[in-house]
Amino acid sequence: MSPNGILSILEVNALPTEQFEWLFGNVIEHCPEAAGWVATKRPFLSTESLRNAFDDYLDKLKNHEKENVLIKHPDLAGKLAEGKLTTESQNEQKCAGLDEMTREEKQTLANLNAMYKEKFHFPFVICARENKVAAILSGIENRLNNSPETELEVGIQEVKKICRIRLLDVVWSDAR
């Protein structure tokens, strides 16, 4: 998870809006409107302030809008074999080892995903780059015990983690 960004925060601030929106359009999965909103908050003093702007975008959403953000995420390992994931999601799921699960693990995850979606009406979201298969299976099992309100917030916190990592794939870390 080393920050390997390709642009400095000064370069990010100088991007034309259209390029900014294209470059950051999927730091929140299938949510280019977030990049459009964040683009209007420039200039950023640091990578951290850019990250905070994406967090602010998510925090300002109404609950049904937060649910829509979560709905845009793929089922873990569900579309991996079908090749229908965004490049970012595909790489993240491979980092977690989801492409190397046993048949039993795949079936367990499929069953847990179905139970989760039935209860919460959105897919289970976890930052795959911070977890491996065992932690993901344990996480979904544990989070099935949450209330819908709690799980909505936990899911959005996981989206923020994913977003932060994706941002550092593009922008140099302030720690450089």
Strand partners, 7: 171
Quick one: pLDDT at residue 86? 84
Quick one: pLDDT at residue 137? 97
Strand partners, 121: none
Per-residue pLDDT of 81-102, as tens digits, reads 456 778 898 889 889 999 899 9
pTM of the model: 0.93
Quick one: pLDDT at residue 1? 40
Residue with tokens 């911070």: 130
Per-residue pLDDT of 101-140, as tens digits, reads 999 999 999 999 999 999 999 999 999 999 999 999 999 9
Say if CB 27 and CB 34 are below 8 A apart: yes
Strand partners, 171: 7
Q: Cα–Cα distances in Å, from 155 out to 55, 93, 116, 125, 150? A: 13, 17, 12, 6, 9
DSSP conformation letters of 24-78: HTTSSTT-HHHHHHHHTTPPPSSHHHHHHHHHHHHHHS-HHHHHHHHHTSPPTTT
Residue ranges per structural domain of the chain: 76-159
Q: Rounded CA gap, 161 and 165, in Å? A: 6
Fold category of 76-159 in CATH: UraD-like (1.10.3330)
Quick one: pLDDT at residue 175? 64
Please compute the mean of the pLDDT values over residues 44-49 and round it to a whole number.
97
Based on the residue annotation, tell me whether 73 is a catalytic residue of this protein. Answer: yes
Please compute the mean of the pLDDT values over residues 55-71 and round it to a whole number.
98
| Mean pLDDT, all residues of the chain | 93
Residue with tokens 């950051």: 24
Least confident of 41-45, 53-57, 73-77, 110-114: 73-77
